[in-house]
Amino acid sequence: MLLLFNSVILAEGINIKLGYNIDQKFKVSASNETNSISINNGVNPNFTLICDADFEITDMLSAGGGIEMMTPTSLKNENGDFLFMSIYPLIKFNIGNDYIKYYNTLKIGYNFFIADSTFKSGNSLGNGIFFGINAGVLFGKVFSIDFNYSQNRGTLTNSIYKADITLTKYMLTAGFNIPF
Protein backbone atom coordinates (compact mmCIF):
# COMPACT_ATOMS: atom_id res chain seq x y z
CA MET A 1 0.00 0.00 0.00
CA LEU A 2 2.81 2.42 0.89
CA LEU A 3 4.58 1.63 -2.39
CA LEU A 4 1.39 2.37 -4.34
CA PHE A 5 0.89 5.68 -2.49
CA ASN A 6 4.51 6.74 -3.12
CA SER A 7 4.31 5.94 -6.83
CA VAL A 8 1.11 7.98 -7.22
CA ILE A 9 2.55 11.13 -5.65
CA LEU A 10 5.83 11.11 -7.60
CA ALA A 11 5.77 14.32 -9.59
CA GLU A 12 7.31 14.91 -12.97
CA GLY A 13 8.00 18.43 -11.76
CA ILE A 14 6.97 22.05 -11.83
CA ASN A 15 7.15 23.63 -15.27
CA ILE A 16 7.76 27.37 -15.61
CA LYS A 17 7.45 28.70 -19.16
CA LEU A 18 7.35 31.98 -21.01
CA GLY A 19 5.34 32.04 -24.20
CA TYR A 20 5.26 34.47 -27.09
CA ASN A 21 1.80 34.75 -28.62
CA ILE A 22 2.63 34.60 -32.33
CA ASP A 23 -0.91 34.94 -33.66
CA GLN A 24 -4.08 36.00 -31.84
CA LYS A 25 -7.65 36.69 -32.95
CA PHE A 26 -10.27 38.40 -30.80
CA LYS A 27 -13.82 37.53 -31.90
CA VAL A 28 -16.89 39.40 -30.65
CA SER A 29 -20.33 37.86 -31.31
CA ALA A 30 -23.39 39.76 -30.07
CA SER A 31 -27.11 39.90 -30.70
CA ASN A 32 -30.30 41.39 -29.34
CA GLU A 33 -33.92 41.21 -30.53
CA THR A 34 -33.23 43.18 -33.73
CA ASN A 35 -29.52 42.89 -34.60
CA SER A 36 -26.69 40.41 -34.71
CA ILE A 37 -22.99 41.18 -35.20
CA SER A 38 -19.75 39.26 -35.40
CA ILE A 39 -16.39 41.07 -35.46
CA ASN A 40 -12.87 39.66 -35.69
CA ASN A 41 -9.99 41.84 -34.49
CA GLY A 42 -6.27 41.30 -34.45
CA VAL A 43 -4.41 41.51 -31.13
CA ASN A 44 -1.07 43.19 -30.52
CA PRO A 45 1.78 40.78 -29.66
CA ASN A 46 2.32 39.90 -26.01
CA PHE A 47 3.64 37.18 -23.69
CA THR A 48 2.10 34.54 -21.44
CA LEU A 49 3.60 33.20 -18.22
CA ILE A 50 2.75 29.55 -17.51
CA CYS A 51 3.29 27.52 -14.35
CA ASP A 52 2.04 23.96 -14.10
CA ALA A 53 2.82 20.73 -12.30
CA ASP A 54 2.13 17.19 -13.40
CA PHE A 55 2.31 13.86 -11.61
CA GLU A 56 3.26 10.61 -13.31
CA ILE A 57 0.45 8.07 -13.48
CA THR A 58 2.21 5.69 -15.88
CA ASP A 59 5.31 6.00 -18.08
CA MET A 60 3.15 7.48 -20.82
CA LEU A 61 0.54 9.44 -18.85
CA SER A 62 0.65 12.20 -16.26
CA ALA A 63 -1.94 14.58 -14.81
CA GLY A 64 -1.83 17.81 -12.86
CA GLY A 65 -2.86 21.43 -13.04
CA GLY A 66 -1.65 24.89 -13.78
CA ILE A 67 -2.15 28.58 -14.26
CA GLU A 68 -1.52 30.88 -17.24
CA MET A 69 -1.49 34.66 -17.24
CA MET A 70 -1.13 36.90 -20.28
CA THR A 71 0.69 40.20 -20.11
CA PRO A 72 -1.75 43.05 -20.81
CA THR A 73 -2.35 43.65 -24.51
CA SER A 74 -4.72 45.58 -26.74
CA LEU A 75 -6.66 45.10 -29.93
CA LYS A 76 -4.97 46.43 -33.05
CA ASN A 77 -5.92 50.06 -33.68
CA GLU A 78 -7.86 50.25 -30.39
CA ASN A 79 -7.18 51.75 -26.97
CA GLY A 80 -7.37 49.94 -23.64
CA ASP A 81 -5.69 46.82 -22.35
CA PHE A 82 -7.05 43.40 -21.43
CA LEU A 83 -5.74 40.01 -20.34
CA PHE A 84 -6.93 36.53 -19.45
CA MET A 85 -5.76 34.50 -16.45
CA SER A 86 -6.57 30.78 -16.67
CA ILE A 87 -6.63 27.98 -14.07
CA TYR A 88 -6.91 24.40 -15.29
CA PRO A 89 -6.37 20.69 -14.72
CA LEU A 90 -4.24 18.97 -17.36
CA ILE A 91 -3.53 15.56 -18.85
CA LYS A 92 -0.17 14.93 -20.50
CA PHE A 93 0.72 12.07 -22.87
CA ASN A 94 4.47 11.29 -22.88
CA ILE A 95 6.71 9.35 -25.29
CA GLY A 96 10.47 9.12 -24.94
CA ASN A 97 13.21 8.59 -22.38
CA ASP A 98 15.14 10.58 -19.76
CA TYR A 99 17.08 12.51 -22.42
CA ILE A 100 14.33 13.52 -24.87
CA LYS A 101 10.65 13.26 -24.10
CA TYR A 102 7.88 14.26 -26.53
CA TYR A 103 4.51 15.14 -25.08
CA ASN A 104 1.03 16.40 -25.86
CA THR A 105 -1.01 18.20 -23.23
CA LEU A 106 -4.75 18.82 -22.94
CA LYS A 107 -5.93 21.65 -20.65
CA ILE A 108 -9.56 22.57 -19.91
CA GLY A 109 -10.39 25.04 -17.19
CA TYR A 110 -11.73 28.42 -16.16
CA ASN A 111 -10.42 31.87 -17.05
CA PHE A 112 -10.79 35.37 -15.69
CA PHE A 113 -11.33 38.17 -18.23
CA ILE A 114 -9.63 41.32 -16.90
CA ALA A 115 -9.46 44.77 -18.54
CA ASP A 116 -8.79 48.41 -17.76
CA SER A 117 -11.53 51.07 -17.74
CA THR A 118 -10.62 52.27 -21.26
CA PHE A 119 -11.16 48.79 -22.71
CA LYS A 120 -14.38 48.21 -20.74
CA SER A 121 -15.89 51.60 -21.74
CA GLY A 122 -18.69 51.20 -19.19
CA ASN A 123 -19.37 47.54 -20.08
CA SER A 124 -19.10 44.72 -17.57
CA LEU A 125 -16.89 41.68 -18.18
CA GLY A 126 -17.72 38.03 -17.56
CA ASN A 127 -15.30 35.14 -17.10
CA GLY A 128 -15.46 31.93 -19.10
CA ILE A 129 -13.98 28.64 -20.21
CA PHE A 130 -10.33 28.01 -21.14
CA PHE A 131 -9.22 25.28 -23.54
CA GLY A 132 -5.69 24.49 -24.68
CA ILE A 133 -3.67 21.79 -26.43
CA ASN A 134 0.05 21.70 -27.03
CA ALA A 135 2.89 19.59 -28.36
CA GLY A 136 6.33 19.85 -26.86
CA VAL A 137 9.75 18.39 -26.26
CA LEU A 138 11.50 18.09 -22.89
CA PHE A 139 15.30 17.91 -23.12
CA GLY A 140 17.14 16.15 -20.29
CA LYS A 141 14.25 16.58 -17.81
CA VAL A 142 15.07 20.32 -17.58
CA PHE A 143 14.44 22.45 -20.71
CA SER A 144 11.26 22.42 -22.81
CA ILE A 145 9.95 23.94 -26.03
CA ASP A 146 6.21 23.86 -26.85
CA PHE A 147 3.79 24.92 -29.55
CA ASN A 148 0.36 25.80 -28.10
CA TYR A 149 -3.14 26.45 -29.38
CA SER A 150 -5.69 27.84 -26.92
CA GLN A 151 -9.01 29.63 -26.60
CA ASN A 152 -10.09 31.95 -23.81
CA ARG A 153 -13.79 32.80 -23.58
CA GLY A 154 -15.61 35.55 -21.75
CA THR A 155 -18.45 38.05 -22.11
CA LEU A 156 -18.85 41.80 -22.49
CA THR A 157 -22.26 43.10 -21.36
CA ASN A 158 -24.06 46.44 -21.43
CA SER A 159 -27.73 47.53 -21.38
CA ILE A 160 -28.20 46.79 -25.10
CA TYR A 161 -26.47 43.46 -25.65
CA LYS A 162 -24.36 40.65 -24.24
CA ALA A 163 -21.37 39.83 -26.43
CA ASP A 164 -19.54 36.51 -26.38
CA ILE A 165 -15.77 36.97 -26.55
CA THR A 166 -13.33 34.37 -27.87
CA LEU A 167 -9.58 34.94 -27.90
CA THR A 168 -7.84 32.34 -30.07
CA LYS A 169 -4.06 32.24 -29.86
CA TYR A 170 -1.07 30.32 -31.16
CA MET A 171 1.93 30.47 -28.86
CA LEU A 172 5.54 29.30 -28.83
CA THR A 173 6.96 28.67 -25.33
CA ALA A 174 10.30 27.87 -23.78
CA GLY A 175 10.80 26.95 -20.17
CA PHE A 176 12.39 25.02 -17.39
CA ASN A 177 11.22 21.95 -15.54
CA ILE A 178 12.08 21.70 -11.85
CA PRO A 179 11.96 17.95 -11.11
CA PHE A 180 10.79 16.74 -7.71
| pLDDT over 70 percentage in the chain | 93
Rounded CA-CA distance 91/108 in Å is 9
Q: Domain spanning 20-178 has what CATH number?
A: 2.40.160
Q: Where are the domains of the chain?
A: 20-178
Would you say residue 20 has pLDDT above 80?
yes
Rounded CA-CA distance 168/170 in Å is 7
Are 30 and 161 in contact, with CB atoms under 8 Å apart? yes
State the pLDDT confidence band at 3, using cuts at 50, 70 and 90: very low
Q: How many CB atoms lie within 10 A of CB 35?
A: 9
| pLDDT over 90 percentage in the chain | 76
Would you say residue 159 has pLDDT above 90?
no
Instruction: Please name the residue ranges forming H helices in 98-162.
Output: 117-120
Among 120, 122, 50, 42, CA closest to 76 = 42
Rounded CA-CA distance 146/123 in Å is 36
State the pLDDT confidence band at 58, using cuts at 50, 70 and 90: very high
CA 19 distance to own-chain centroid? 10
Looking at every residue in the chain, the average pLDDT score rounds to 90
Would you say residue 165 has pLDDT above 50?
yes
The pLDDT tens digits for 7-19 are 344 556 899 999 9
